[in-house]
């Protein structure tokens, strides 16, 4: 088995996959071994730019997949630390519950974003309840 590296792969099916890969020579026929391949999509809406991460094959419990060279259009090694960190955080999260990560905020935990005033967060639910009760009582 060859050296491992992070790569983005474009398949003939049109899928783009991010994975830790290694190349294995099998009787002169090279095989690409994908470890925990994921699909990363950039999503842009009125709130900002996000990265959506999901497994390449959603219903499989396997971690390794083999792809033949003839199924690949192109493959490029990446050293982009943001992408590698997203991949590592997603793979190490047992529940794989990371749905999206805000590119402009530094979350405390992978996949978690703390509410801010920019998002509309003004106070806690408890504080809002107390303020509304006070306003309601003052009206009587």
- For residue 49, being part of any structural domain is answered with yes
77, part of any domain: yes
Q: What total number of domains does the chain contain?
A: 1
Give the domain extent around 30.
5-114
CA dihedral for 10, 11, 14, 19, sign (positive or negative): negative
What is the tens place of the pLDDT at every residue in 56-84?
988 888 889 989 888 999 999 988 888 88
Does 110 reside within a domain?
Answer: yes
The CATH number given to whatever domain includes residue 31 is 2.30.30.100
Kindly report whether the global pTM for this prediction surpasses the value 0.75: no
The answer to whether residue 81 is domain-embedded is yes
Residue 88: CB atoms within 10 A of its CB come to 14
């Amino acid at each position: 088995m060859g050296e491992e590296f992070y790569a983005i792969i474009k398949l003939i099916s049109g899928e783009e996959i991010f994975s830790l890969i290694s190349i294995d020579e099998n009787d002169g026929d090279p095989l690409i071994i994908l470890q925990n391949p994921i699909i990363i999509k950039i999503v842009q809406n009125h709130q900002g730019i996000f990265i959506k991460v999901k497994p390449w094959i959603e219903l499989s419990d396997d971690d390794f997949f083999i792809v033949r060279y003839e199924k690949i259009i192109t493959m490029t090694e990446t050293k982009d630390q943001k992408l590698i960190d997203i991949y590592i955080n997603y793979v190490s999260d047992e529940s794989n519950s990371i749905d999206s990560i805000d590119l402009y905020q530094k979350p405390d935990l992978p996949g978690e974003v703390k509410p801010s005033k920019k998002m509309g967060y003004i106070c806690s639910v408890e504080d809002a309840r107390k303020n509304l009760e006070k306003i309601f009582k003052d009206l009587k």
